[in-house]
Structure 1
Amino acid sequence: MKVLIIGGGGREHAIGWQIDNTSKGAGEKIKLFAIPGNAGIAQIAECYPCLDVANFPDLANFAKEKEIDNIIVGPEYPLSIGIVDALSAHGLHVFGPTAEAAQIESSKFFVKRLMKKKGIPTADYDVAYNLDEAIGFVKNRGYHCAIKADKLCNGKGVFICKGEDSKEAADLFIRFIRMIFETRIGPAIIEDLLIGEEASFMAFVDKNGFILPMEPSKDHKHLLDGDNGPMTGGMGAISPTPIITREMHDKIMKKIMHPIVEAMREQGINYTGILYAGLMIVENEPLVLEFNARFGDPETQPLMVRLETPLLEITRKSLQGRLHEVKLDWDKRSAACVVLCAEGYPGKPILGTPISSDDLYLASDIPGLEVFHAGTTRDEQDRIVTSGGRVLGVTALDNYLECSITKAYKLIGTILKFEGMQYRKDIGLHVQEFLKTRMKNFTA
């Protein structure tokens, strides 16, 4: 069987790794291809970095020429511009939502209206169509709000105002709002700022609307420790997260996941693929921060090292409308992923910085550790170098969350390092403190 993965980040490397790993275990022969891929994916797949994921005729011709059986789309951008629609029209089997369905991520305004209509819990909001309107909505909330771009912004389309009424704070949020309108990714959504415990909840959805939830996870969006600094695509993740109890899981399915799929179907939109709900748990109730139409990144990395059911089987059953036949099996251990970024990220990352291949190979031999590549490539001297903002995802698996976190950090800065490398030093720390507080309350 031949499988094509669209994308070249840590998420796609983890997807390819899971398919490769589970197929070998089952004795199934799978050949992987990736467009564009990266230096890590190239170790398990044929990569074609020169092909454009937005050039659908070329992609269709490539898939037919290589006799591709299944296509899995990783990033949001190709989904938003209709890669599934275009390739499916050529008779190809593509896992992911159509462009219409992907509006759940590509338009914040679209999904906010849908949630309001269906009564799905989320923050109250206003929509601003110009700078003055947006500033007014921010002031009305006492400078205590989340400002979001309507359209896609590579995971960096959110600015958090924390009630600071200083000139410096005003300059920052005004600059962000100006960027929204100048780059035409508006209108701007001004939301009440939700305070609580954040979590990521992903599920597979088949063509008949059947929802198969994954284990919960937690992302870390801010660049700096303590959830400070600018927003990023994600600096690390853990799975599972104790924030999502069995009771909370059931609430999320009942109040959020089933209603949003129903709301889409009521609009004549059949949603197939990955449904991701970014959540804030406030006073033991889940509220939606955002929906994504694909696997979260970096959450996919800890999830894929824990998922024991072959991913390829799940995606095939999803396209066939037979997801109810699948049982997800998970490694009971905890996983933690720490993302290593290039100097300058999330602004203008410095590219071309060498990463020692020997260090990467040494790291890959450590039991319970996987290093997933994101922004990496090989230069003219065949060295692995940085090619993007988020470079590597060090993902560790161990019996306890604390142990998996320690294992990941032990590798970073000793065996694995590169010039200008930046990373958070508190991935999973908040969850550990959450667990300690819960235990104290339980024993009190």
Structure 2
Amino acid sequence: MNVLLLGSGGREHALAWKIAASPLLTKLYAAPGNPGIGGEAELVKLDITDHAAVVAFCREKKIDLVVVGPEGPLVAGIADDLRAENIRVFGPSKAAARLEGSKGFTKDLCARYNIPTAAYGRFGDLASAKAYVEKTGAPIVIKADGLAAGKGVTVAMTMDEARAALASCFDGSFGAAGAEVVVEEFMTGEEASFFCLCDGTTALPFGTAQDHKRVGDGDVGPNTGGMGAYSPAPVMTPDMIERTMREIIEPTMRGMAELGAPFAGILFAGLMITESGPKLIEYNTRFGDPECQVLVMRLRDDLLVLLNAATDGQLAHMSVRWRDEAALTVVMAARGYPGTPEKGSVIRGVEDAAGEGVQIFHAGTAINGGALVANGGRVLNVTASGATVGEAQARAYAALDRIDWPDGFCRRDIGWQAVAREQAG
């Protein structure tokens, strides 16, 4: 098979690494990719926002499957445009991608189909949103309705934080994404990420993970796209997975089909595990980043076979097997992230850091004058497997410490909840 992978981050490097191992693969292309992905695929200078150009490339190279990594092209309808040209694509339609593209759409779906989630309000102007917040009080959660690169959510512990978050949404800080705001009640519990491969009818559980959104150790500081993750998530017991499927995933699949937008692709449920059970925080309609990195480390099966089955509506006949090991990834970020990251600093020692049970996935990297340099906020994902989360954590940080990058930083406590559980016995 000839496969085209769209995207350029750590998630896409992880997908490329796993797809490249498939016996089904003839040729893997990636657009635009990054230097790490270039080790697994032929990089293509292709503007993935230009759907006509993507279609033309698929025709020229006889692409058998397009795998869409990031959410932006999905929300913009890339899957629809490819399917209209009879090009097979793994990813949801524009209508189905609204589950990520509009938080308000998802909240309304939850209300309609009795899917457990936080109480909420939707607002298109600052005055009404502020009145709701003043009435409800803090802590409270403020979300830009649209795509904001993982940065449009504020968990406001004080009223001043809530007012500032509303102001930043409506003053254009998040562009069109903040034109409408969703305000939610603050939920308490433990967060987890739950994934399902979907083919429009069947949803097949595809692993669990926990990530660390805050920039600093101890879960302090502003939210980021994710500073690290580990899998599996201990809180997602077999019973919790069964409840999540029955109470959240299956009603969502039925609801989307009834709305004329059956969901096919990867459905990523961000969950809060509360005293009363699982509640949906939000949906993403693509693999998580950095959760994808730990999932591919644990996946025993051929990912390309599974993506094909989802694309062809054959998931009812499939199962997924996982390695017994845990996996953990630590994000190395550029100084200034999650604000304005400093680009261009030289990174050395990446090849020396990889080894048995350790993979280094590139996220925001580039080659400049023959040297590997930082070219984004989240730059590298140091990913390791181990018999326990603690062992994977130790292996990941040992590898990370072999990387020579004075201008990079990371959290030193990724996996702390799971490690504490393990140490408690």
Taking structure 2 as the reference length, the TM-score comes to: 0.96
State the secondary structure of the residue aligned to 2:297. helix
Q: Provide the residue aligned with 2:153 in structure 1.
A: 158
The answer to whether structure 1 residue 282 and structure 2 residue 274 are counterparts is yes
- 1:305 and 1:376 mapped to 2: Cα distance? 21
2:5 aligns with: 5
Residue 14 of structure 1: aligned partner: 14
For residue 360 of structure 1, what is the aligned residue in structure 2? 350
The Cα of 1:255 is off from its aligned counterpart by: 0.1
The residue type equivalent to 1:120 in the other structure is I
| CA drift at 1:431 | 2.4
CA distance in 2, matches of 1:410, 1:134: 47
Distance 1:410 1:30 in 2: 35
Query: Pairwise mapping of residues 24-39 of structure 1 onto structure 2 (< 5 A)?
Result: 26=23, 28-39=24-35
1:201 aligns with 2:194: yes
Closer/same/farther in 2, CA of residues 254 and 181 from structure 1, 3 Å limit? same
**Counterpart secondary structure, 1:184:** helix
Q: What is the CA–CA distance in structure 1 between the aligned matches of 2:133 and 2:370, rounded to whole Å? A: 50
Partner of residue 390, structure 1: 378
Q: 1:124 to 1:389 in 2, by over 3 A?
A: same
The C-alpha deviation readout for 1:218-272, integer Å capped at 9, x for no partner, is 1111111222111111111100011100110100000000000100011111111
Give the deviation of 1:137 after TM superposition. Answer: 2.0
Match of 1:371 among 356, 360, 366: 360
Q: CA deviation at 1:411?
A: 1.9
Asked if the contact 1:180–1:187 (Cα under 8 Å) also holds between the matched residues in 2, the reply is no
Question: Shift in Å at residue 87 of structure 1?
Answer: 1.1
| Distance in 2, Cα, partners of 1:155 & 1:182 | 11
**Among candidates 112, 127, 131, match of residue 132 of structure 1:** 127
Match for residue 48 of structure 2? 53
- From 75, 78, 88, the equivalent of 2:83 is 88
Aligned residue among 417, 424, 435 for 2:411 = 424
| Deviation at residue 435 of structure 1 after TM alignment | 4.8
Q: Report SS of the residue matched to 1:354.
A: coil
* 2:255 match: 263
After superposition, the Cα gap between the structure-2 partners of 1:178 and 1:384, relative to the gap in structure 1 and judged at 3 Å, is same
Report the CA distance shift for 1:30/1:110 in structure 2 as closer, same or farther (over 3 A). same
Cα distance change, pair 425–179 in 1 and its aligned pair in 2 (3 A):
farther
Of 82, 101, 108, the match for 1:113? 108
CA distance in 2 between counterparts of 1:390 and 1:179 reads 26
Distance 1:285 1:310 in 2: 33
- 8 Å CA contact 2:139–2:159 kept in 1: the answer is no
> Unpaired runs of 5+ in structure 1?
440-444
Displacement, 1:327?
Answer: 1.8
Q: CA deviation at 1:216?
A: 0.9
Tell me which amino acid in the other structure corresponds to 1:7.
G
Using the TM superposition, give the Cα deviation of residue 417 of structure 1 relative to its aligned residue in structure 2, in angstroms: 3.3
Quick one: which amino acid aligns to residue 249 of structure 1? I
Distance in 2 between the 1:182 and 1:234 partners?
18
Q: How big is the shift at 1:135?
A: 2.1
Question: Are the equivalent residues in 1 in contact too, given 2:152–2:174 (CA < 8 A)?
Answer: no
Does 2:207 align with 1:215? Answer: yes
2:135 equivalent to 1:145 = no
Give secondary structure in 2 for the equivalent of 1:229: strand
Q: Deviations over 1:1-36 (max 9, x none)?
A: 211100001101000101112x2xx4x453110011
The answer to whether the Cα contact below 8 Å between 1:130 and 1:181 also exists between their aligned partners in 2 is no
Amino acid at match of 2:356: P
How many angstroms does 1:288 deviate by? 0.4
> Which of these residues, 41, 62, 66, is aligned with residue 57 of structure 2?
62
Matching of residue 400 in structure 1 with residue 388 in structure 2: yes
Aligned equivalents of 2:167, 2:370: Cα separation in 1: 41
Partners of 1:102 and 1:327 in 2: CA distance: 25
- 1:178 to partner: Cα distance: 3.2
Which amino acid in the other structure matches residue 403 of structure 2? L
The answer to which of 283-292 and 125-134 deviates more is 125-134
Verify the 8 A CA contact 1:277 1:292 in the aligned structure 2.
yes
Name the residue aligned to 1:101.
Answer: 96
In 2, are the aligned partners of 1:272 and 1:318 still within 8 Å (CA)?
A: yes
Q: How does 1:66-81 map to 2 (within 5 A)?
A: 66-81=61-76
d(CA) in 1 for partners of 2:182, 2:421 = 31
Correspondence for 1:190: 183
State the superposition RMSD in angstroms: 1.5
**Structure 1 residue 283: Cα displacement:** 0.3
Residues 1:43 and 2:43 are matched in the alignment:
no
Separation in 1 of the partners of 2:162 and 2:219? 20
| CA distance in 2 between partners of 1:386 and 1:179 (Å) | 31
Question: What is aligned with 1:243?
Answer: 235
State the SS of the aligned residue for 1:217: strand
CA contact (8 A) 2:100 2:106 kept: yes
Per mean C-alpha deviation after superposition, the further-off stretch among 223-232 and 127-136 is 127-136
Q: Is the 8 A contact 1:180 1:188 kept in 2?
A: no
Between the aligned partners of 1:435 and 1:130, the Cα distance in structure 2 is: 47
Q: Deviations over 1:369-426 (max 9, x none)?
A: 00000001112x12111111110100000111100001111122x3113132121111
